[in-house]
Amino acid sequence: MAKRENQISLEFVSNLKFTEFCVLIFSYLRNILDILEDDFFKIEISLREMINNAIIHGNKSDTSKRVYVQFSWDRSCLRISIKDENTEKVDFDEINRKLDENDLLSFNGRGILISKSYMDRLEIVPSAKGTEIVMEKRL
């Protein structure tokens, strides 16, 4: 998708203070990409939700585990990848069932539901080494 120079990669311990750092990086990108106010808000909320999910639900706030965030872009699209180091099996079928039912009162899945509605694409990629969330927003 994006050229290598259109990419920023971050790696940090599972601490919520790094959510703000990622938002700061995204704010810098906003200026480069000339992102509209409404889109900026939607992407920022989605970014916060998915990073917090990786830290709290994925890595269970274990500071020995890391979170990996990558921003990549071109003129037409911003892509954000967020990966945790959760080695436990997550029941994504159950989460998707609740999302399909719009079960907003459920503790699990609200951030995914919000992000799915705000982003143009959201993909969950589970693996034995962790879960990766890939989000895209057309610019």
pLDDT per residue over 79-127, tens digit each?
A: 999 999 998 877 767 766 766 666 555 556 678 889 999 999 999 898 8
Q: What is the domain range of residue 30?
A: 4-138
- The predicted-structure confidence for 22-76, as pLDDT tens digits, reads as follows 999 999 999 999 999 999 999 999 999 999 999 999 999 999 999 999 999 998 9
Q: What is the CATH number of the domain that holds 99?
A: 3.30.565.10
pLDDT at res. 104: 54
Angle at 18 between CA 111 and CA 135, to 5 degrees: 40
CA dihedral 40, 45, 47, 48 (to 10 degrees): 140
User: Which tokens hold the place of 58?
Assistant: 């994925």
Enter the tokens of residue 98: 């609740």
How many structural domains comprise the chain?
1
* pLDDT, mean over the chain: 90
Number of residues written out for the chain? 139
Question: What are the beta bridge partners of residue 81?
Answer: 70, 134
- Single pTM value for the model: 0.88
